[in-house]
A and B are shown apart, each in its own frame.
Chain A
Amino acid sequence: MGAAGAVAGLEWTDAEVRSRTPWQLFWERFREDRVAMVALGFVAFEVLVALFAPLIVHAFAHPPNAQYPGALDPVFGTPTGPSRRFLFGVDPVGEDVFSRVLFGARVSLEVALIATALSVTFGVVFGMVAGYYRGAVDTVISRLIDVTLAFPILLLALGIASACSLGGGCAGGLIKPGLGTVIVAIVVINWTYIGRVIRGQVLSLREKEFVEAARASGAGDVSILFREILPNLVAPIVVYSTLVIPQNILLEAALSYLGVGINPPQASWGEMIAEATPIFNTAWWYFTFPGAALVLTVLAFNLLGDGVRDALDPRLDQS
């Protein structure tokens, strides 16, 4: 981020603390936010747990897709609750809920990272192009964003996901059912938000003196976009990304809950919650543990996002 910092310095640093980079400044502000630090700690913990899920499960539990019919009631087939052998109980086919919650974390984080990265990339590129070139290009991209946003999010995602979740997938087999479909559905919808924010920022940035100076010294459009404007967009991009992660986790859970998300037998919190809801009376553990994992994860990412925004936006801090 060295290059970015040098230019961004014009915007972010003030005369007395010139010796600190904007990221040092950010970190100092962020470190003082206790809630955000706890959230960061939880997210870090979760990432570790997800990364080492196979090892943890190997040591303390059972493979996530292994079925233990012996753990079901032999007369009624109902699952049994938390025990020494199955820390979080078992589900209706005798799978270890503990292992599945751990592996579900992998799915949630994968979706969170990949879908967020992709939607931010598309959003930034289209937003910059629209804001910089204005005119016809802007009209086309902005109307596309308006139209996409006019669809109810969940219904659009549901439509895309269910169209791609049957047979060999959609787009000529390019998009396979399962994780890929979920990510595509999320990206198609979510790039629009950041696209719109970025376009607004670029509209004002392109009129700034340093852009004019660059243009006067003969810099091309690409160079201006990426060397002059993009570094100034780092703050909104970071803020927006952290805020969109929990949304994406929830959207994946919702799609899996509705049966068009992650393919069985892969574990997904949304799918577990969907299966657990009708039998909550008899198997509270099946609903409670994935539900708690989902709530805590989303909460942690939300708080983390808030903290990042506060630390990056001095104006907000002053008011």
Chain B
Amino acid sequence: MLVIALCKGRFLDPSLAMLGSVGIRFSEDVASSRKLIFDSEDGRHRVVLVKPTDVPTYVEYGAADIGIAGRDVLLESRADVLQPLDLNFGHVKIAVAGPRGTQSINGNDNPTVRIATKYPHITMDYYNARGIPVEIIPLSGSIELAPLMGLADRIVDLVETGRTLKENGLEIVEVIAESSARLLINRAGYQTKRHEVRELIQALEKVIA
């Protein structure tokens, strides 16, 4: 049996739809149930629902053989997992944003750039690679508020349409990476359950939009 970790939240419906299109279906309504573990109708797969940021952890440790999570979450987690497929949904940009008209602020004006973010690792890696000293201000929500309140000079966050940024007087300064849903696979499971895992990868490959 293959154990698949899915994120609760906005990824759940497209993830279930994708599994459904390769024949992994559930007799219960996974999205509305309060249960956390579901076995597929054919009994060959089990889905567990976890927080998005926990998906890479479940897969890295092998508690789940497979997971579906955004590339943003995966990069931030630094989990050592295989990631063979881009599932082509949940597209967002991971971007640096700042108050409109402050594009030109750089290390010369500000010895240390203060950056509010939910993604401290991604932010650190990005600026370390450029030799720009930054101070990370870790926040867990409403990141856009930080520059408005003088808490930070910049933010690093997900940008889907850019509307939230616009409405808060912010704009994209640089795009760090593109993110979308990825199929994650535990390294050991890829070997010890090779036939089941590859069968699933090949089936998914055919249905990716």
**Do A and B assemble together?**
no
